[in-house]
Amino acid sequence: MSATKVKIVQTTARIPEPLYKEAKYAAEEMRNSVNDLLVSALRAYLRKVRRMKIDASFKSMKTDQAYLDETERIENEFAQSDWEALLEN
């Protein structure tokens, strides 16, 4: 099994000096580079943003009457088999 190589790009970021110093200190404590720390932090932040977008898309379902009606219809359809399965165990 071969690992997929990811193209690395070089960029410049301007960050406040106190933040850089804190990041440098944290990276040194973790025996890591500031670059690796920034990549990890950016990945974590973007993962959080994606999660927030997903959560926001589901939030509208709470008031979507068509979705609520369909959910109730499915729930009613499976009510009997749900009870049967519950009683068997």
Residue 12 lies in a domain: no
Residue 56 lies in a domain: yes
What's the total number of domains in the chain? 1
What confidence tens digit (pLDDT) does each residue in 35-48 have? 999 999 999 999 99
Residue 3 lies in a domain: no
Helix, strand, coil in percent for the chain, rounding step 5: 75, 0, 25
Residue 64 lies in a domain: yes
Residue 30 lies in a domain: yes
Number of helices followed by number of strands (H, E) in the chain:
3, 0
Residue 72 lies in a domain: yes
pLDDT value, residue 89: 65
What confidence tens digit (pLDDT) does each residue in 12-32 have? 999 999 999 999 999 999 999
Domain membership of residue 61 as a residue range? 17-80
